Amino acid sequence: MWGMTHHTPHTRQIAAFVISMQARGLSERTIYEREIFLRRFLRDHTMTPEDIECFLASDMSQSTRATYWSHLKAFSAWLVRIQVFQADPCAGIIPPRRRRSMPRPIPAGSLAAVLAACTSVEQRDMVLLGSLAGLRIHEIAKVHVDDVDLASGVLYVEGKGGKRAMVPLHEKLLRVAERRARVGGYWFPSPCTHGPLKKQWVGTLIRRALRAAGLRETPHALRHWYGTSLLESGADLRTVQELMRHDSIASTQIYTAVSDQRRRVAIGGLHIAA
């Protein structure tokens, strides 16, 4: 049977799925995004192969399609595991291809303008975390003083999948960390709760600084600038992979494709003997 059983409403199944993901140690971000998506999807669709394919065929970007597919596949596999379904509705569907996106860093030399456009210390610190530590906006949002080891000058970051990594702090960020340590708590506390600022608000503040500097790039472009600049400075690919916290070096290799300067230098080094 493909459809949901009448005696287990969608809300109860999603709630149980959330508990299952928490038990597996998935990141809060992954759990939240899957829960929100499934609630929206199941308002208008059923977990049948026909409905899933019809949904995936609707107008959306290829990366979004691939992300939604991963959410549906995880949920359907779980429904089979708890015996709500006898067969997996996603099993016969050909997975959508995830196109490899190219990094879009902020233009070379524009970071100073972005920092100058910041109207608050918090906004400036967010930009520095994105550009000098390569943090994603959800990682920036939850930086806490306890995540920093001032003695060794490193920041411990919980990234995708709940993986914890160590990032050496740039001199400018080390000074920020020393200042933040005197205050304590989250670097960017929420005015409404005892927790950190929402990632959406972090993204908004960074985007405002970018726009004020005359740039149309997204906040994630700061992380792209970080990776590209590391390669431009002569760091080897393996080191950049560690600093970017990529699982696969294939993810890091795309940064070599955007370095026009390095390509021009390489071409300029070709000589024909007279």
Q: In this predicted model, what pLDDT tens digit does every residue of 15-33 receive, in sequence order? A: 999 999 999 988 888 899 9
- Check: CB of residue 176 under 8 Å from CB of residue 125: yes
> Among the options 223, 224, 226, 245, which is catalytic?
223
- Backbone angles phi and psi of 255, in degrees to 5: -70, -20
Catalytic one of 34, 124, 138, 246:
246
DSSP per-residue string spanning 113-146: HHHHH--SHHHHHHHHHHHHS---HHHHHT-BGG
Is residue 30 domain-resident?
A: yes
User: Which of 45, 104, 198, 220 is flagged as catalytic?
Assistant: 220
Residue 103 domain flag: no
Residue 258 pLDDT: 61
Number of domains observed in the structure of the chain: 2
Q: Could you tell me the residue range of the domain that residue 123 belongs to?
A: 111-262
Q: In what order do the strands lie in the sheet with 164-168?
A: 148-149, 154-158, 164-168
Determine, yes or no, domain membership for 192.
Answer: yes
CATH of the domain at 20: 1.10.150.130
Q: Is 226 a catalytic residue?
A: no
Verify that 154 and 207 share a domain, yes or no.
yes
pLDDT at 7: 38
Same-domain pairing of 231 and 180:
yes
H/E run at residue 55: helix 49-56
**pLDDT the model gives residue 101:** 65
Q: Is 68 a known active-site residue?
A: no
Is 156 labeled as catalytic in the residue annotation? Answer: no
Together in a domain, 53 and 118:
no
Q: Answer yes or no: pTM beyond 0.75.
A: no
Catalytic residue among 136, 138, 142, 245: 136
Nearest to 204 by CA among 132, 271, 250, 140: 140
The answer on pLDDT for 266 being more than 70 is: no
Distance of CA 238 to the CA centre of its chain: 20
Distance of CA 209 to the CA centre of its chain: 20
User: For 143-180, how does the pLDDT look when each residue is reduced to its tens digit (9 = 90+)?
Assistant: 999 999 999 999 999 866 667 899 999 999 999 999 99
What rounded mean pLDDT belongs to the chain? Answer: 88
**Selected catalytic residue, list 45, 104, 144, 160:** 160
The answer to whether position 269 is within a domain reads no
- Across 236-262, average pLDDT: 80
Say yes or no to pLDDT of 92 above 60. Answer: yes
Average pLDDT over residues 50-54: 94
Rounded to the nearest angstrom, the gap between the alpha carbon of residue 235 and the centroid of all alpha carbons in its chain is: 23
Q: Is 160 a catalytic residue?
A: yes
pLDDT for the residue 8:
42
Q: Is 208 a catalytic residue?
A: no
170 catalytic per annotation: no
Say if residue 33 is in the same domain as residue 154: no
Backbone φ/ψ region at 162: left (φ over 0), alpha (ψ -120 to 50), beta? left
Measured CA to CA in angstroms, residue 214 lies from 122, 124, 205, 210 at distances of 20, 16, 15, 6
**What is the residue whose two structure tokens read 């709500």?**
84
